[in-house]
Amino acid sequence: MYRMSEKPLIPADKIRERVATLAREIVDVYDYDILLSALTGAYMFTADLSRELANAQGAKAPHKRIAFIKASSYGDSTESSGKLQVQGLERVHLQGKKVLMVDDIADTGTTLLGLTDMLNEAGAKEVRTCVLLNKQERREVEIKADFVGFEIANEFVVGYGLDYANEYRTLPEIWTLQEAD
Query: Applying CB under 5 A, which residues contact Mg ion?
Result: 41
48 is catalytic: no
- Name the catalytic one among 33, 103, 107, 146: 107
Among 5, 80, 120, 136, binds ligand 5GP (CB under 6 A): 80
In contact, 119 and 94? CB cutoff 8 Å: yes
Among 46, 111, 116, 129, binds ligand 5GP (CB under 6 A): 111
Among 46, 110, 116, 129, binds ligand 5GP (CB under 6 A): 110
Q: How many residues does the chain have?
A: 181
In contact, 118 and 127? CB cutoff 8 Å: no
Residues 31, 57: Cα–Cα separation, whole Å: 9
* Identity of residue 45: F
Among 26, 34, 69, 104, binds ligand 5GP (CB under 6 A): 104
Cβ closer to ligand 5GP: 27 or 158? Answer: 158
Residues 175, 164: Cα–Cα separation, whole Å: 11
Considering only residues 18 to 77 of the shown chain, the ones binding ligand 5GP according to CB under 6 A are: 41, 73-74
Residues 180, 90: Cα–Cα separation, whole Å: 42
- CA separation, residue 180 to residues 4, 10, 98 (Å): 9, 21, 45
Binder of residue 130, out of ligand 5GP, Mg ion, none (CB less than 5 to 8 A by kind): none
Nearest to 154 by CA among 133, 169, 172: 133
# of chain residues touching ligand 5GP (CB under 6 A): 20
Q: Which residues are the active-site residues?
A: 107
Residues that bind ligand 5GP (CB under 6 A): 41, 73-74, 80, 103-112, 156-158, 162-164
